[in-house]
Amino acid sequence: MYPTELVKGVYWVGAIDYDIRNFHGYSYSTHNGTTYNAYLIVDEKIALVDAVMGPFAEEMFARISKIVDPLRIDYMISNHTEMDHSGAVPEVLRRVPKAKLICTAKAVDQLKKHYQNGWNIQTVKTGDEISLGKKTLRFYEAPMLHWPETMFTYYVEEEVLLPNDAFGQHYATADRFADQVDQYVLWREAEKYYANILWPLSRMVQRKIEEVIELGLPIKIIAPSHGLIWRENPLEIVTRYLSWAKGERTKDKVVIVWDTMWGSTTKLAHVIGEGVHSAGLEPVLRLIPHGDRADIMADLLDAKGILVGCSTMHNDILPTAAPIVSDFEMLKPAGKKCATFGSYGWAGGAIKKIQESMEKGNMDIVMEPFTVKWVPTEEELKKAYEFGKEFAEKVK
């Protein structure tokens, strides 16, 4: 259990959770595990910036003990109260009662309600600073990135930004820096993280990033609370966040997701995919029960558009398609261009339900649904091909 030094006096002392496969109560699949990043900043005084999830407290203390006696910690900085970061805070303050807890005013109630404790708390707001001796910590409130109480900590002299959940990824590895790992997995996990946690907060994300850019803070390292630390070209992740927040559709692909009862909607999906391809866009085909809703939302993040297909059962969507439809309403991929397709027997309720969810998610329905009764004929398959092609042309 060893720490990793980021820059002089700043250490990663977090925990690696290789085994977790579901986050947020099964709402987010974590195929690559995650890390809970805590950072120890050692100057004349010592600050611990964020903690780890409760069960990982010993791992964090073991890493801290390789640097200093944990009893020397002066400040416990809580950027965010969600329990994957604050879970070990009670244990830190139990072992080190002299440590002062630093957080935003909004975090106080949340911490009290979570842990029912009468700690020595100092609240901070944007621009407030704490001197650690030779060097300084400065705080920036970042409400709704992604909870109301969230803040960023900035280590001024070393130009290290500690933004908690922002810019993170659920990716457990023995490496600590983004430039050391498989770049495909890294960026895929960063996209999935944005799509599933920050997408509905995009307006706030854009505003906060533009605010930080206007401040002109020099940033050498971005050290988030999950996954890898950005030290080579750290602003690349910031640029991508801005692009995702603005809803830029940078990848030449169309996501096609569907489920089917007896294969008719699958036939449509495949031919529609060929139509999309004929117009020069990559069709990304995902049969819903074979995949996972969190992955599909990651696929969608910077796609040109999405086509959703479903057969109708009891005048409604198939139950397997329900998570996707609910994600449209919850994650609000605003402005994403979309349309629907599917087969039905005697009523087409599935399409109506999907379109209602697309509207609630502020998505942009650009074409009338393409539907067939029972099994598609050759003629209808030709029309499905044209439907895919026309959709691709519209969203290019």
Footprint of ligand FEO (CB under 6 A):
80, 82, 84-85, 146, 165, 225-226
**CA-to-CA distance for 247 and 297, rounded, in angstroms?**
13
- What is the smallest separation between the CB atom of 53 and ligand FEO, expressed in angstroms? 9
| CA dihedral of residues 28, 224, 84, 74 (deg, nearest 10) | 180
**CA-to-CA distance for 138 and 215, rounded, in angstroms?**
13
Chain position carrying tokens 């001796």: 133
Q: In the structure encoding, which two tokens stand for residue 129, read together? A: 């600073």
Q: Which of 28/328 has CB closer to ligand FEO? A: 28
Query: What are the contacts of 261-266 at 24+ separation with CB within 8 A?
Result: 261/311, 261/313, 261/318, 262/311, 262/375, 264/311, 264/343, 264/372, 264/374, 264/375, 264/376, 265/309, 265/310, 265/311, 265/341, 265/342, 265/343
Length of the chain: 396
Q: Which of 225/355 has CB closer to ligand FEO? A: 225
Q: Does the annotation count 252 as an active-site position?
A: no
Which residue has the closest beta carbon to ligand FEO?
82
Catalytic residue among 2, 18, 24, 252: 24
Catalytic residue among 28, 39, 74, 146: 146
CB atoms within 10 A of CB 214: 8
Q: Does the annotation count 155 as an active-site position?
A: no
- What is the smallest separation between the CB atom of 327 and ligand FEO, expressed in angstroms? 18
Q: In the structure encoding, which two tokens stand for residue 315, read together? A: 């005048």
Q: In the structure encoding, which two tokens stand for residue 44, read together? A: 């004349």
Q: Does the annotation count 270 as an active-site position?
A: no
Q: Does the annotation count 290 as an active-site position?
A: no
144 sits in the region (left: phi over 0; alpha: psi -120 to 50; else beta) called: left
Catalytic residue among 82, 191, 259, 302: 82
Q: Which of 146/337 has CB closer to ligand FEO? A: 146
Q: Which of 165/364 has CB closer to ligand FEO? A: 165
- What is the smallest separation between the CB atom of 26 and ligand FEO, expressed in angstroms? 16
User: Which residues have a Cβ under 8 Å from the Cβ of 313 and sit 6 or more positions away?
Assistant: 261, 350
- What is the smallest separation between the CB atom of 146 and ligand FEO, expressed in angstroms? 6
**CA-to-CA distance for 379 and 357, rounded, in angstroms?**
30
Q: Which of 82/364 has CB closer to ligand FEO? A: 82
Q: Does the annotation count 24 as an active-site position?
A: yes
Q: Annotate 77-113 with b (16+ C-beta within 10 A) or e (fewer).
A: bbbbbbebbbbbbbbbbeebeebbbbbbebbbebbee
Q: What is the bridge-based pairing of β-strands 46-49 and 39-42?
A: antiparallel
Give strand pairing partners of 40.
11, 48
Q: Does the annotation count 165 as an active-site position?
A: yes
- What is the smallest separation between the CB atom of 33 and ligand FEO, expressed in angstroms? 14
Catalytic residue among 17, 140, 191, 226: 226
Q: What is the bridge-based pairing of β-strands 160-162 and 253-259?
A: unpaired
Catalytic residue among 43, 84, 141, 327: 84
- What is the smallest separation between the CB atom of 147 and ligand FEO, expressed in angstroms? 6
- What is the smallest separation between the CB atom of 35 and ligand FEO, expressed in angstroms? 10
Catalytic residue among 11, 75, 171, 193: 193
Q: Which of 145/395 has CB closer to ligand FEO? A: 145
Q: Which of 85/286 has CB closer to ligand FEO? A: 85
**Catalytic annotation, residues:** 24, 80, 82, 84, 146, 165, 193, 226
